[in-house]
């Protein structure tokens, strides 16, 4: 029994694709006799023809990957896309470095390890990018007899 015409008509009426049209296997004879849009509409009303539900996309895999990323997995060289400074921009890097340096300088000044003049000098040097880390700054201060 060929039901292609009925399926096509039902798909147009239901506004779904042909593959999503479901025809009741027990009422196939009744459906095969229907050749007009009106008769197809009546069969839809009776429940002989129904639209199948939309197929969803399972989120299992994405959830699993998200869990792994939370644990710190999937971060190897093969997963990195973009330029060197794309994941953490240079500016962000600079901000974190300069904040650490300034915090350390203030701590040294408050503990009286350095005086105000030395503090100013090291502050300006840090601003100019002379030190790449706190340890470099401390080494510089030690080597140049700035620490008390």
Domain ranges of the chain: 4-51, 90-143
- List, for residues 40-90, the tens digit of each pLDDT value: 999 999 999 999 999 999 999 999 999 999 999 999 989 999 898 898 999
Which residues does 101 contact at the CB level (< 8 Å), separation at least 6? 126, 131, 133, 134, 137
CATH fold for domain 4-51:
50s Ribosomal Protein L19e, Chain O, domain 1 (1.10.1650)
Q: How far apart are CA 125 and CA 134, in angstroms?
A: 12
So what's the pLDDT on residue 1? 72
Query: Selecting from 2.60.120.1440, 3.40.47.10, 1.10.1200.60, 3.40.50.300, what CATH number does the domain 90-143 have?
Result: 1.10.1200.60
Average pLDDT over residues 9-25: 95
Q: Are the C-beta atoms of 116 and 146 separated by less than 8 Å?
A: no
Total-model pTM: 0.54
Question: Per-residue pLDDT for 148 more than 90?
Answer: no
């Amino acid at each position: 029994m060929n039901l292609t015409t009925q399926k096509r008509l039902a798909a147009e009426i239901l506004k779904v694709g042909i593959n999503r049209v479901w025809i009741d296997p027990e009422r196939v004879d009744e459906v095969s006799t229907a050749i007009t849009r009106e008769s197809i509409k009546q069969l839809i009303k009776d429940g002989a023809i129904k639209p199948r539900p939309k197929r969803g996309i399972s989120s299992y895999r994405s959830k699993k990957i998200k869990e792994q990323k939370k644990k710190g997995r999937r971060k190897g060289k093969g997963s990195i896309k973009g330029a060197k400074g794309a994941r953490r921009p240079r500016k962000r890097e600079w901000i974190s470095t300069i904040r650490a340096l300034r915090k350390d300088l203030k701590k040294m000044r408050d503990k009286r390890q350095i005086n105000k003049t030395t503090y100013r000098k090291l502050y300006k040097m840090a601003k100019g990018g002379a030190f790449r880390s706190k340890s470099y700054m401390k080494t510089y201060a030690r080597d140049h007899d700035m620490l008390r």
